[in-house]
A and B are shown apart, each in its own frame.
Chain A
Amino acid sequence: MSEETSFDNIDKGNRRSRKKREIALILPIIGTFLLLTPILKVFIRDDESSLLIPTLLFIFGVWALLIAAAYILSRALAPEIREK
């Protein structure tokens, strides 16, 4: 392997770990956006029937997705902690 390609690999590795860290920052922001703003009202018609059930399902759905995303992210970030 030539010197240049190994430098390329290091650069790629850095870029990948930086991206992971950026995702770690974006995930709670997305969570905040979905769970704290009335964004749900964009998706459902606001008629007289109660919004309780759709809201309940929406919150639990987003919550479950966030947990799944956090699981994947923590698996991706764990090696970076161990390296240190």
Chain B
Amino acid sequence: MLTFNIVAGICLAYVAILFGVAALAEQWAHKKKMTFLKSPIIYTLSISVYCTAWTFYGAVGSAARNGLEFLAIYVGPTLVFIGWWWLLRKLVRIGRTQRITSIADLISSRYGKSNLLAVVVTLLAVIGTTPYIALQLQSLTLSFAVFTETNANAPSPAITALLIAIGLAAFTVVFGTRNLDANERHHGVVTAIALEAVVKLVALLAVGIFVVWFVADGPKDILENAESMMPKDAGVFNSRWVTLTFLSATAIICLPRMFQVVVVENDAESHLATASWAFPLYLFLMCLFVVPIAVVGQEILPSGSNPDLFVLTVPLAMGQEGLAALAFLGGFSSATSMVIVAAIALSTMVSNHIVLPLWLYRTQSRNPESDDVRSILLRSRRISIAGILALGYFYYRLTGGTSALASIGLIAFLGIAQVLPALFFGLFWKNASRSGALAGILVGFAVWAYTLFLPSFGDTFLLSKNTIENGLFGIAALRPQALLGVDIADPLVHAVFWSMCLNLLVFASVSLFTSPKPLENLQALEFTNVFGRTSQRHMPSQITTSDDLFILAQRILGRTEAGRLFSEKAQEQGKPSGLPDPTPELILTLERELAGSVGAATAHAMVGQISGRDTVSVEELIAVADETAQVMEYSARLEKQSKELAATAKQLRRANNKLTKLSQQKDDFLSQVSHELRTPMTSIRSFSAILMNDGEIDREQFAHFSSIINDESQRLTRILDDILDLSFLESGKVKLNLENRNLGKLIEQSITASQTAFDTKEIKVNIPTAFHKVTLFTDADRLAQVFINLITNAIKYNDKDLPIINFSVSETVKTVTVTISDNGPGVSEADQEIIFEKFSKLSSGASSSGVGLGLSICAEIMRNLGGDVVFTPSKTGAMFTVTIPRTIKSRDAR
């Protein structure tokens, strides 16, 4: 027979094991043997702190009373966890980068490290969690009472509850406030919680298997009986079902203890990947046997038995005392793990956001260095833990056994759910502001209190029966359970609807109509862009010394930790010993480290006090806010620049090629010029030498030699004239004498001029009369020079007895084209390409006095006149085509 004493003994032994496990884990963590402690399984199991005694015992009770409704409490978290990639991962990443210590810290940090918000969320969490702790105490005493019914000597429930509360407080103080971990991680507690998670799962599965296969005849039997034993209405897929799912999904993020295990105690994001399926699986297994236990319990136990205790009473009724003890330990584990984690989370919040700021404010005038912040923090946490458990105990004493406590679980869920809009939109909406968050939370909280929390006490607390039925001051629209006459039958659904709607509405509209402070903007960017680039914050130079910072760090992090941090930083700055310089980067790192112990708002205030800075400069803000825009602009500019560079390189390459070619041409030209000049010079020098030295030269020879010298001199002059003319034309500096001139007359003059050079030769020239109708506005003398050159060539190189030159003309609107062809030998194909080059004397060239500059000059003149001259291949003789603009335009002229 299981007596109270045996049960109490089992409990004590179990607690001793928990102490041992926690101590061992702390030791391992200290020795850095972390592989086991940091496994994703431990993380997943610790999340199961979600399953409290309320779910361990209460799920069966709920199934017996309300059908499948209890499943909603597990469906919500399942949905959140399988969507981990989008919400939980972001939360965890922010928790790690910002060194978040609690849900209040997260909200405060997001909205500009506002301590006011932190205080509000902390109070909300305390109000929402205290009844929940009372609920755990109640279920523990109820489960104890199962064993004390037959024992008159057993202590009363009040004493049991008190002893449990004291025991829990002791455990939490020992393992929850052992040290001020920079990241608020508690390996000992988490490992103990994981063990408890295994115990409660094993206990529930054991009872379930016993019930299905040993009491009933397998699952088929259970399902057949379920129809008659369970409520007719399955209680799913209705508005209450949706509401409960929403609340439970919210709870897994917003409840202080859930936030503690999911975000704060998280060691690696990859653990979340495992938990995304393992935690839903855990919940699935916890629910698997709830309906069978409810069905069998109603079958075999006398009617009127409390279905909330079926997990315990069914094995007892079947005489399975070992199983009952295991079930009891499962319930005990559920309750204790919840209370321990909740107490740690709340004490962290209370000490960081309420006690420490108050102490800082009070000691501002005193010499703060004489006090040890660490001891203040630890002491305040220990006192907070005791205080929170005391609150829970008194709440239990006040309301224990009443319906107010039984229904408090969901009510508490909704209370803490009021931070959801501020939390959720804070992660994704940059413009969500501090004022909006504060207003939303306060309004939602007020509506929650008025429509759900206070009426849950009946008429015993604050609200009178009259107010509940007829509304505040008798105004029907203010009836707590039918606001504005919206008559939703279920008070919970009604309260969720109104509180969340008004919360969201106020939060969004106040956010839109207020402009956030600079620090809020900074934090908003840090939160919403947590997966983006880590921004380099630029801060103005500080007026502080490293000594001050070191003293502050020592007071909070402890001597060794602070020493390690500062020597690391000094090494980073390239200093072999001593303190690092107080760079903005050091100050930022320090603030982050401190935030891991005392919360963002307090750390910011402390560092701000020392460094004389608690505002953000406009420059810093612009730098961060415009970061994205800057990056985009920068990359666009880079792209443009690289395009420009490519274009410039291309141009340069082209220019270089041209220069190389020109330089080559110049060299060729110089060597040709020297060669051409050298030939007449040589003649002149040798003949003048003969004249000078040979005194016996006769008259005839003298005349002959002198005429050679004269001819060569003239040739030299002509070559030089041509070269000068050519260079003048090429440079484009030639001045044109523009006038109107009849083309026919111009060509006739040219022919006359050419003929004078060959007066011995008879030639035939055909000029169509059309020429006389064409008038050009151009430099007539230069144009004539071109024609003279071409005609002269046609005569000079002609090997026929009667040279014939044919002119023809064709006109377009803007140009006149003159074709000059002859009956000469023509130009060989190989020579066609080079006839316009300088000094190009053709291979077939007959004896000539020219040096090969004539056609080059023609080409240059035509270029200057805006036209051109080309050689046109033809079968009979040579043919040149000269294109002349009718009217020379300034831009055509070169």
Contact = CB atoms under 8 A, between A and B. Distances in A.
Interface in B599-629: none
Interface residues of chain A: helix, strand, loop or mixed (majority): helix
A52 B277 contact: no
Nearest to B271: A81
A31 B75 CA distance: 9
B565 interface: no
B68 A28 contact: no
B79 A28 contact: yes
Given A77-B85, A77-B273, A52 B78 contact: no
A52 B242 CA distance: 18
Contacts of B236: 55, 59
Contact of A25 (B86, B284, B291): B86
B654 to A, nearest CB: 28
Interface string A39-83: 011000000011111011001100110111111011001100110
Interface residues of chain B: helix, strand, loop or mixed (majority): helix
Contacts of B232: 50, 52
Given A36-B242, A59-B68, A24 B270 contact: no
B269 A24 contact: no
A6 interface: no
A37 B86 CA distance: 22
B273 A78 contact: yes
A38 B237 contact: yes
Contacts of A25: 83, 85-86
B253 to A, nearest CB: 13
A51 B68 CA distance: 11
Contacts of A64: 284
Interface in B53-101: 67-68, 71, 75, 78-86, 89
A63 B75 contact: yes
Contacts of A49: 227
A26 to B, nearest CB: 9
Nearest to A82: B270
Interface string B30-74: 000000000000000000000000000000000000011001000
A71 to B, nearest CB: 4
Contact of B83 (A28, A78, A81): A28
A48 to B, nearest CB: 10
Contact of A31 (B79, B86, B281, B284): B79
Nearest to A64: B284
Interface in B318-343: none
A67 B226 contact: no
Contact of B237 (A27, A31, A37): A37
Contacts, number: 99
Given A25-B86, A52-B67, A53-B226, A40 B276 contact: no
B234 interface: yes
Most interface-central of A32, A37, A56 (chain B CB within 10 A):
A56
Contact of A28 (B82, B89, B269): B82
Interface string B269-311: 1100110110011001001100100000000000000000000
B86 A53 contact: no
A63 B230 contact: no
B398 interface: no
A21 to B, nearest CB: 6
Given A25-B85, A37-B237, A53-B227, A74 B78 contact: no
A54 to B, nearest CB: 9
B468 to A, nearest CB: 31
Nearest to A55: B234
Contact of A66 (B226, B270, B280): B280
B697 interface: no
A52 B228 CA distance: 10
Contacts of A74: 273-274, 276-277
Nearest to A27: B82
Contact of A67 (B242, B270, B281): B281
A52 B223 CA distance: 10
A84 B270 CA distance: 10
A36 B237 contact: yes
Interface in A1-51: 21, 24-25, 27-28, 31-32, 35-38, 40-41, 49-51
B241 interface: yes
B245 A24 contact: no
B79 A52 contact: no
Contact of B234 (A50, A67, A73): A50
A50 to B, nearest CB: 5
A52 B86 CA distance: 34
A64 B276 CA distance: 13
A51 B276 CA distance: 30
Contacts of A53: 223, 226-227
B78 A31 contact: yes
Contact of B71 (A59, A73, A77): A59
A69 B276 CA distance: 10
Interface in B238-277: 241-242, 245, 269-270, 273-274, 276-277
Given A21-B85, A53-B226, A55-B68, A32 B79 contact: yes
A24 B223 contact: no
Contacts of A68: 277
Nearest to B242: A36
A51 B230 CA distance: 11
Contacts of B281: 67
Contacts of B68: 52, 55-56, 59
Nearest to A41: B237
A27 B230 contact: no
Contact of A63 (B83, B84, B223, B284): B284
A67 B276 CA distance: 8
A52 to B, nearest CB: 5
A84 B82 CA distance: 21
B411 to A, nearest CB: 22
Contacts of A67: 78, 82, 277, 280-281, 284
A27 B82 CA distance: 7
Contacts of A73: 82, 276-277
Contacts of A35: 75, 79, 245
A81 B269 contact: yes
A50 B670 CA distance: 113
A30 to B, nearest CB: 9
Given A24-B85, A50-B234, A71-B277, A66 B71 contact: no
Nearest to A32: B79
Given A50-B227, A53-B223, A56-B291, A70 B79 contact: no
15 contacts: A21-B85, A24-B83, A25-B86, A28-B80, A36-B241, A41-B237, A50-B227, A50-B230, A53-B227, A60-B284, A70-B280, A78-B270, A78-B273, A81-B89, A84-B269
Interface of A: 21, 24-25, 27-28, 31-32, 35-38, 40-41, 49-53, 55-56, 59-60, 63-64, 66-71, 73-74, 77-78, 81-82, 84
Smallest CB-CB A-B distances: 10 pairs:
A28-B83, A24-B85, A70-B277, A71-B277, A38-B237, A74-B273, A70-B82, A55-B234, A78-B273, A52-B234
Given A24-B84, A25-B85, A67-B82, 17 more contacts: A24-B83, A28-B80, A35-B75, A35-B245, A36-B245, A40-B237, A41-B237, A50-B232, A51-B234, A52-B226, A63-B78, A63-B280, A67-B280, A77-B273, A78-B270, A81-B269, A84-B269
